[in-house]
Amino acid sequence: MQLTFIPYDLARGLHIISFTAWMAALLMLPRLMAYQTGAEPGGELDKKMRVAIASLRGIIMTPALLATWVFGLYLLVAYSGAMATSFWLATKLALVVLLTIMHGWLIANAKKIGRGARPHSERFWRRVNEIPFVIAIAVILLATTEPNLPI
């Protein structure tokens, strides 16, 4: 039985839009954390970065993460449940789980920095900034080269 409350093209489009927003936030957060790490705790820049990070997290990052998962799982259940054991899907899901773990790790570290701790250097956060993009390249290539779905 197929669940098709949302047409495939619409669900896939919403999944791509939410993934893009999530990726933008995952790329932006480490950069903001680098700026905050370089700022004096309690100083003007530190306060501005705390507000910017909280806004990014609450308005874009977490809602986009949830929407990415909701639409992705909907597509999996509604349109490709028979493909659930394929290598491309397992790899794509593993990478998205990795991004989800990174999301949580970044937020935990942003909270530490917001409390005045500096667990890593500015340089570290600038390097971490590139990791989500590399993972996204693999996810996108897996998504665009997926086997033809029987729709």
pLDDT means per 10 residues in the chain (151 residues)?
75 95 97 95 94 96 97 84 66 93 96 92 95 93 70 43
Q: What is the dihedral of CA 3, 6, 9, 11, to 10 degrees?
A: -90
Helix count and strand count (H, E) for the chain: 6, 0
Three-class secondary structure assignment of 85-143:
CCHHHHHHHHHHHHHHHHHHHHHHHHHHHHCCCCCCCHHHHHHHCCHHHHHHHHHHHHH
pTM exceeding 0.85 = yes
Domain ranges for the chain = 8-144
Count CB neighbours of 51 within 10 A: 10
